[in-house]
Structure 1
């Protein structure tokens, strides 16, 4: 059970980092277009 919880936390962190990168990339592309 503890292994499953650790896996869920790791997956959540990866998703959070990925979404943050996507938002950052979209924001920088908007700045470049202006």
Structure 2
């Protein structure tokens, strides 16, 4: 049971990390557009 909870938590963390990276990439792209 504990392993299942850990796996679920890992998947959630990976999803959050992916969204976080995309958000950073999105903001850096916006900055490039503004700086041009």
Aligned length: 34
Select the structure of larger CA radius of gyration: 2
Unaligned runs of 5+ in 1: none
Question: 4+ residue runs of structure 1 moved beyond 4 angstroms?
Answer: none
Unaligned runs of 5+ in 2: none
In the superposition, the TM-score normalised over structure 2's length comes to 0.89
In the superposition, the TM-score normalised over structure 1's length comes to 0.94
| Alignment root-mean-square deviation, CA | 0.4
